[in-house]
Amino acid sequence: MGPGRELKRNLTGIPEPNQGPEPESERALTPTAASRFAQITLACVWREYPNKMDHILHGPEDVRSPKQLHPSFYGCFDWHSAVHGHWMLAKLLRTFPDLPEAEAIRAVLDVHLAPERLRGEVAYFRHPGHFGFERTYGWAWLLKLAAELADGDAAEARTWSARLQPLADAVVERFHDFLPLMARILPARGFRAWVKPWLPELRGSAVLIPVRVSDRSDPRIVHLDGLNLSRARALQTLAAALGPRDPMGAELQMASHNHGAAALPQVASGQYCGEHWLATFAVRLLEAWPPAAATRAPDRPS
């Protein structure tokens, strides 16, 4: 195994596709994987440039730097990546409070969630010319960060949560303005009956096959790594809902494993256009996968 492949395996705990099933202790969000994901994102959240702005100029006074416009979430190439990068760091700190990077994570949250900085973020959202800013993808990640901090038991988490609340309130107002009705969630007991008619269409479809990423230096093409990670989580969620006795559930879990095996080693590709955001989606996947003892690559259904 070459040094590059060894680094990727150390990062993710996942073998590359077609390398055979991994040991039962792998395929999990371990402290080692969490530490390396944290390192990737810690290198991004302070980094102001390069930066992809989503900003309308109403006059010369609006010509400002990313950090001036967004004092809290100016890093990680774009606003929503900065927000979900902070979510990931907060999530890892709560899950693994003894991480070697814990103090660095606390420093990020202390500085970027300072009241004076967040007042600047709130002011940006309340500006009448910014009503569509980050609608709705970035909004959802901001509320995800707010929920993560609210779930924390530590005093520092409660402090960060209270500081973030005015921005969360501003985002909720935007949602209420944008959505005439709240989404209706299907009851869990009705989910299987609802999803069953759709499952035959999945068998043999391209959705169950990881997407090939041809050029990770291309900021658009590299989003296919994110697609593989998101699909892996979605397929795992479906498999869990169907249960281990359902043959389709086993097939979906295998597809989830294959997507994760294709994408997780690429989180640390050395290309900033992927590294500034992929670690968040890797953490989202690994927290959804079952405990290590239950996560051997499933046998292929007959």
What average pLDDT does the chain have? 86
* Residue 188: per-residue pLDDT: 57
- Taking alpha carbons only, the member of 19, 4, 1 closest to residue 270 is 4
- Each residue of 229-274: pLDDT tens digit? 999 999 998 888 888 788 888 899 999 999 999 999 999 999 999 9
Q: Is-cis flag, bond preceding 136, omega within 30?
A: yes
> Does the pLDDT of residue 168 top 90, yes or no?
yes
Q: What is the pTM of this model?
A: 0.76
Higher pLDDT pick, 192 / 69: 69
> Does the pLDDT of residue 73 top 90, yes or no?
yes
